[in-house]
Amino acid sequence: MTDSNPGSAKPTLKTLPGDDVRQILWRYSDRYDLQMVVQAARSVARGLVARLVAEGARHTHEWTPDKQRLLEAMDEAGITAVAIDPEHGGYIPGPKNLALALVAFELSWVDAGAATASLAGNLALAPIHERGTPEQVAKYMGGAVPAAPGEDRRTLRGAFALTEPIPYVGVDTNTMAGRVRVAEWKEGEEPILHVDKRGRFITNAAFANFACAAVASDDPRIKGSCMVILEDTDEGVWDPGSPTLKLVHQLSATNDPIYSLKVPASRIIGGYTVQDGVIVPNYSHAEVIEAVFRRTRVTVGLMTAAKLLSAVEPVIRYHRQRFRGGGQLQPGSPRYELGIQQREDALHRLIDVWATGEAAASLGFYTARLFDEFDPLEREKDRLFAERGIKGARAQLKAFAAVKDAALEFIRLEHLPADRRDAARYEELLNDTLVQFVVKDALSQVFCPATKLWNTGVGANMMREAVSLMGGYGITEDCPGFLGQKWMDAQLEATYEGPEAVQRRQLTVTMVNDLFLAQFRHWIRQMRQIAAKKPGTGACTLATAMELWLWTIGYLQKAKDANGETLYHGQRQGVAFPMADALSWLLASRQQILDVLELEEKGGDNPALADGFEGTVAFLTDLCHVMAARASGEVGRIVAELVYGYLRHPSWDGDCDSCFRASELEAVASVVPGFDSSPLEVIQDDDTHADKAGPCVRFPGMERFRELRLKLDGCLTGARLAKDRAAAALTEVMIPEALDYPR
Amino acid sequence: MSNGYHIVVCGSLVPDPLQALEPVTTPDGPALKNESMLPSVLDPWAAHALYEAAHLAKTVPGSKVWLVSLGPKAKLQQLMMTVAQKAPFEFVAVDGSASGFTDSFETAQALAKAIESIAGLDRQRLLLFGGCSSASRDAGTTVGMVGALLGIEEQFLAVDEIVPQEDGSFRVKERVEGAQYLVSECAGAPAVLAWATGNLPEPPNNPQVGMTNMRTIMPALAKAQPAGNLRGSLRFESVETPTQRRETRVVKDAGIDEIARELADWIRG
């Protein structure tokens, strides 16, 4: 029998994973442009951003001249232009989801408020980038590129104005107080609109000189809703409003602005047509938002991932040095060298933080890459639909439904070995834009909310663990790595751009899409295959947990509760939401395993990694195992509650098919000797019974579920040994003498 | 000056100064523990030389900068992701050890050979830049020897400033003992300038500049020639880290007065 958990002779982690390792894990080792963007963002984060935090810039809600320097530093380092296409003055060609994700990750390593300041500028441009007319794109994308020295123009800085004061808050609101009406419409001329919008919690509003505002029609001559570009030079009121008194992300400017402006109708994002004397925007505000948030939420998820990974080094250093300097300890003694690292609990908890950070980063960066693949498909799909005259949501859905079978066929072929599939048919489907679009769309509709939900929600909880590992120091302002601030910041990340409930609601719909589930089924087999070659990854454990989740989602979709109510539907959030959580755990763990396999495969080619490569891979593999076990445990707990929890517990006075009267039992035992020693429920002839709620549960039809649950428990074998090894590695890994940013 | 300077900067990587360095013995002699895995930075002395070179090239039209780096190829590639963003230059790579346990003379020979092979380099317009203490365990010998091997007699060590004149000559400020400067006038290139800290701040990273530089960096790395044995006959009897305890923290952009005050306070206890 192969030992999947070899002993301590295994090579271990020598140094903290550096850029060479990360570039392979997150798949940008061949992208020099991205590697440079990472270094540029890092220099701003660990330079100016860290100094601002250390000097207390987070203590003010106002946008100060010091904070303004952040924008200049980001302009200077090329960060502002990352989102811009080269034809408009940017320098990264093609989709930029991974590039923006890396920038957000690097900035958040020190302070997520700074990342939000950068992100919010991109968010303001995103509606224009995704849905704007060519003129709008040219003007605003080009204008957002920082002015070159000697160039006489102001740099355009935007705000995304969606959220409104209570009661109309939240990113998915269908009702808005923001209004647009026709102010003036002269014969043969462009209509002039009047826009009234009060925003709440609008990032960048303090310094923005344009805003993309979501508004609803307040005029029969305008149909529905739309997004409109407002400028600070437009006629009317442009009031940046008062700063939001937020407790977190204070390096971003968040205000409650008031806009009441006259703008030409050409500012409607995506343009409009005039039908029977009515202005019909080409895109409703919801259509614009959907295109925007499905991308930008990923970067938010990565902001929390960066926090977790950034906590590792300061915690190790604090633990090791905890007892030094007291005068009585001698260098070389275990207490001097290891400090708190002598305690298993401290090591194990840090391993949990680290493993969560790795999984969150793997999930987030995968999703960013997925959108990089998806973007060109979406544009090509839009082009095809325009060419074929397919307009409106219903017509599009019909077109997607028409290729569903072909998409399922593609998924089946995709997961067959190349020599066993119909190569011509596979190639045909691979080159079919619509097929590829629906396959990738099914993934992106799950991975985006899963990233936002899991990374920020679980990440925020895990940041609390990281803070606790620093003792009282953790909640001081001068805690190395600013861990206390990061913990609080994580809560905002779990909230803005769609709080957790919004993500769960989206997953409720998208995770039961046949095209997603078809891919998910193949992933179970994939995990088993990985486990056969790399048993130490925890892939087998995860595969069992995935099977259990899949069985449960199928069951919940068909089953009813004890009251005859349908279990799985949009409004039954007590059922659907936990399943969304469970799925997110599985996806995060799976991506982490896939990334480590990539490292193992590709890392050997990099001579810079040669020395400690085996140890690095072994350690990261152990982290995978730890996370797979944790994810599987979560899934087991959730599905057991859902499957059993909606059934009525059998009662002694109800119809109990496993209950016997004592006298009956005696009679049967006289014919079938030993029958009375079976584990049966017995009701005495005087109606007394064992002290418990009722006969123990036995539900027919649940055999497979029980089998999987039992199997999953056994699959956890070795997970704690992996954790022990990883913990031991923490005591040996070499770390720098100090953090590379001030505190 | 009508045609500008041809400025060659010699500069390579060193372990990030924040790393705890621990010497170990290998079959090839002394090395640093986990050296290949430690993050690297451009040698700070050489970095100043590079920033000064870029500034000079910008000031004197027609000038051009080359960066010649001797180090392990794979590590150089990673380093260039940062360094390439700092200033425009053409890259020349030599594949060899940058461990600090090499001999100045062998290192100087490898660098001189690489410089001699640069196509289009006008040796009459050559200003050879480097860090004053680089690649020499602080002995300050390497750049001077590269210059000597290239036949350059005008040499300035521990330079903090160069002021070019219109006729191609320049004035140089060199550090000497007792916080004094020696100011010299030089008729012009060719000359060696081994830089101390200079006066320029580190430029911000600019990926656009980096991507332009990458056009020469990747081919240069691909065709980097091996430097050969850089240790020569050098033998190390023993290698150890100083016994003083380091207490490191990162403070950026602190003024001289502030640093001096803090040191004085620390000494007073």
Of the candidates A580, A583, A616, A578, the residue with the CA atom closest to the CA atom of residue A599:
A616
From chain A, pick out residues whose CB is under 8 angstroms from the CB of B33: 734
pLDDT given for residue A170 in this prediction: 64
- Whether A177 is in a domain gets the answer no
Q: Do the Cβ atoms of B85 and A44 come within 8 Å?
A: no
Q: Which residues pair with A213 in a beta bridge?
A: A161, A228
- Domain spans of chain B? 6-240
Kindly indicate the confidence band of residue A228, based on its pLDDT and cuts at 50, 70 and 90. Answer: very high
Among candidates B19, B20, B36 on the partner chain, residue whose Cβ is nearest the Cβ of A610: B36
Q: Is the pLDDT of residue A1 over 70?
A: no
pLDDT given for residue A724 in this prediction: 98
**A473-502: pLDDT as tens digits:** 999 988 999 999 999 999 999 998 889 999
B241 touches chain A (CB under 8 A): no
pLDDT given for residue A695 in this prediction: 84
Give the CATH number, domain containing residue A359. 1.20.140.10
Among candidates B20, B37, B81 on the partner chain, residue whose Cβ is nearest the Cβ of A736: B20
- Whether A395 is in a domain gets the answer yes
Q: Do the Cβ atoms of A608 and B36 come within 8 Å?
A: yes
B33 touches chain A (CB under 8 A): yes
Q: How far is CA A140 from CA A121, A214, A292, A467, in A?
A: 11, 17, 16, 42
Cα distance from B16 to chain A (closest Cα, Å)?
9
From chain B, pick out residues whose CB is under 8 angstroms from the CB of A324: none
- Best of A30, A36, A91, A107 to substitute, by most chain B Cβ atoms within 10 angstroms, is A36
pLDDT given for residue A354 in this prediction: 98
Picking from A93-102, A675-684, B31-40, B177-186, which range would have the lowest pLDDT averaged per residue? A675-684
Kindly indicate the confidence band of residue A106, based on its pLDDT and cuts at 50, 70 and 90. Answer: very high
Residues 214-233 of B with CB under 8 A from A: 214, 218
**A389-432: pLDDT as tens digits:** 998 889 999 999 999 999 999 999 999 999 999 999 999 999 99
Kindly indicate the confidence band of residue A172, based on its pLDDT and cuts at 50, 70 and 90. Answer: low
> Containing H/E element for A508?
helix A500-510
Give the list of residues 6+ apart from residue A173 with CB closer than 8 angstroms, or none: A164
Q: Is the pLDDT of residue B116 over 50?
A: yes
* Rg of the Cα atoms in chain B: 19
Name the more confident of B28 and A219: A219
Among candidates B208, B246, B252 on the partner chain, residue whose Cβ is nearest the Cβ of A47: B252
B74 touches chain A (CB under 8 A): yes
Kindly indicate the confidence band of residue A171, based on its pLDDT and cuts at 50, 70 and 90. Answer: low
Among candidates A78, A81, A608 on the partner chain, residue whose Cβ is nearest the Cβ of B78: A608
For residue A109, give the 3-state DSSP assignment.
coil
Of the candidates A123, A107, A475, A58, the residue with the CA atom closest to the CA atom of residue A304:
A107
pLDDT given for residue A353 in this prediction: 98
Q: Which residues pair with B15 in a beta bridge?
A: B40
**A38-95: pLDDT as tens digits:** 999 999 999 999 999 999 999 999 999 999 999 999 999 999 999 999 999 999 999 9
Among candidates B81, B246, B251 on the partner chain, residue whose Cβ is nearest the Cβ of A32: B81
Cα distance from B56 to chain A (closest Cα, Å)?
19
Name the more confident of A519 and B239: A519
Looking at B99-167, list the stretches that DSSP marks H as alpha helix, in order from N- to C-terminal side: 104-116, 142-149
CA dihedral A192, A193, A199, A202 (to 10 degrees): -40
Cα distance from B176 to chain A (closest Cα, Å)?
32
Name the more confident of A414 and A742: A414
Query: Across chain B, what does the average pLDDT equal?
Result: 91
Residue type at position A366: Y
Q: Is the pLDDT of residue A5 over 70?
A: no
User: What's the CA gap between B59 and B57, in Å, rounded?
Assistant: 5
- Best of B250, B252, B253 to substitute, by most chain A Cβ atoms within 10 angstroms, is B250
Please give the share of chain B, as a percent, with pLDDT higher than 70: 98
pLDDT given for residue A9 in this prediction: 58
Average pLDDT over residues A317-328: 87
Q: Do the Cβ atoms of A51 and B253 come within 8 Å?
A: yes
A553 and A620 in contact (C-beta within 8 Å)? Answer: no
Q: Count chain A–chain B contacts defined by CB atoms under 8 A.
A: 117
- Please tell me which residue of chain B has the smallest CA distance to A740: B250
pLDDT given for residue A3 in this prediction: 44
Q: Do the Cβ atoms of B207 and A15 come within 8 Å?
A: no
A504 and A577 in contact (C-beta within 8 Å)? Answer: yes
The conformation of residue B230, written as its DSSP 8-state character, comes to S
B19 touches chain A (CB under 8 A): yes
Average pLDDT over residues B234-256: 78
User: What's the CA gap between A456 and A469, in Å, rounded?
Assistant: 19
B201 touches chain A (CB under 8 A): no
Give the list of residues 6+ apart from residue B74 with CB closer than 8 angstroms, or none: A20, A606, A607, A608
Average pLDDT over residues B143-152: 96
**A346-359: pLDDT as tens digits:** 999 999 999 999 99
Burial of B247 (0-12, 13-18, 19+ CB in 10 A): exposed
Q: Do the Cβ atoms of B78 and A81 come within 8 Å?
A: no
pLDDT given for residue A42 in this prediction: 96
Average pLDDT over residues A531-554: 97
User: What's the CA gap between A520 and A515, in Å, rounded?
Assistant: 9
Structure-token pair, residue A418: 């190349």
Cα distance from A42 to chain B (closest Cα, Å)?
9
**A666-691: pLDDT as tens digits:** 888 888 888 777 777 888 888 888 88
- Whether A184 is in a domain gets the answer no
Query: Across chain A, what does the average pLDDT equal?
Result: 93
- Whether A254 is in a domain gets the answer no
pLDDT given for residue B21 in this prediction: 84
Residue whose token pair is 């954790």: A723
- The count of other CB atoms within 10 Å of the CB of residue A642 is 22
Residue type at position A77: A
Among candidates B19, B207, B210 on the partner chain, residue whose Cβ is nearest the Cβ of A736: B19
Domain spanning B6-240: CATH superfamily? HUPs (3.40.50.620)
pLDDT given for residue A6 in this prediction: 46
Complex ipTM value: 0.87
> Looking at the 3D structure of chain A, how many domains does it have?
1
pLDDT given for residue A607 in this prediction: 82
Average pLDDT over residues B48-65: 96
Structural domain boundaries, residue A318: 294-646+716-732
Among candidates B34, B77, B252 on the partner chain, residue whose Cβ is nearest the Cβ of A15: B34
Q: Do the Cβ atoms of A76 and B34 come within 8 Å?
A: no
Give the list of residues 6+ apart from residue A452 with CB closer than 8 angstroms, or none: A297, A298, A300, A301, A497, A498, A503
Kindly indicate the confidence band of residue A2, based on its pLDDT and cuts at 50, 70 and 90. Answer: very low
Average pLDDT over residues A276-285: 95
